[in-house]
Amino acid sequence: MIHFFMIKTHFHHGNLKEEFLRIAFEFLQTEDIEKLTLKVLSDATGTSRSAIYRHFSSKEALIEALIIEGLEQFDQTISPVLRDTSTPLVDRFFLSGKLYITFAKERPNLYRLLFGHKYAPIRDGVMSIEDEDCSGFGALKLAVEEGQSLEMLKQEPSFTRAVIIWSTLHGLSSLIIDGFMAIDQDADNLYEETFNGLLQSALSPKAHLISNIPFLKNMLKHKEPTSES
């Protein structure tokens, strides 16, 4: 059981903001963002409200900081896998998709905060899906372009294909974490079938795929490359 209201003292002024954020992320593991208040941070750290206001002028400012840090954590979960060129590209797509869904399952309240509708205006003010240097979406778009350059994926707007993949993962993740249709117990099988459908819809006729993942090896052995007529 997580105790959010244990009084902690002797915080160095320089790391107090980091401690506030740590407590807020810990709070989101079990509670919805609506229940998080500045008083929660004050009680958990034994600091005054004025000390919190030096770092966060309002709850909206706190939420903005959580979104910035939360997106960084999410991107660091997804992007390195998509950018790891030592791994076959099809495996990178598969593994990053699993990590996407796992992130949502393990941190549902944070996931809803990052990608839900309610705080979209705050999110839109601090991030852009056009940021190819660090964002998970940017890394996905670059991976799609890599697949197109290798003639593995169809030649189409990479942004469009990335949106199709992302929205599919978001939809499946939302169904799982919100309990709709009680599909959580079959999530792995559903993801594999979903991935298969996404892959087949995106493959170039000349695609030659290599994988180190047993599920993909079994799936791909039935997919023979065809030559250009």
pLDDT tens sequence across 73-84: 999 999 999 999
- The per-residue pLDDT for 99 is 97
- The per-residue pLDDT for 129 is 63
Phi, psi torsion values for 28, nearest 5 degrees: -70, -15
Q: How many CB atoms lie within 10 A of CB 146?
A: 17
- The per-residue pLDDT for 134 is 55
Q: Please, what are the domains in the chain?
A: 1-57 (1.10.10), 61-220 (1.10.357.10)
- The per-residue pLDDT for 186 is 81
The stretches in the chain having pLDDT less than 70 are 1-14, 128-134, 181, 184, 222-229
- The per-residue pLDDT for 14 is 53
> Are residues 11 and 47 in contact, defined by beta-carbon separation less than 8 angstroms?
yes
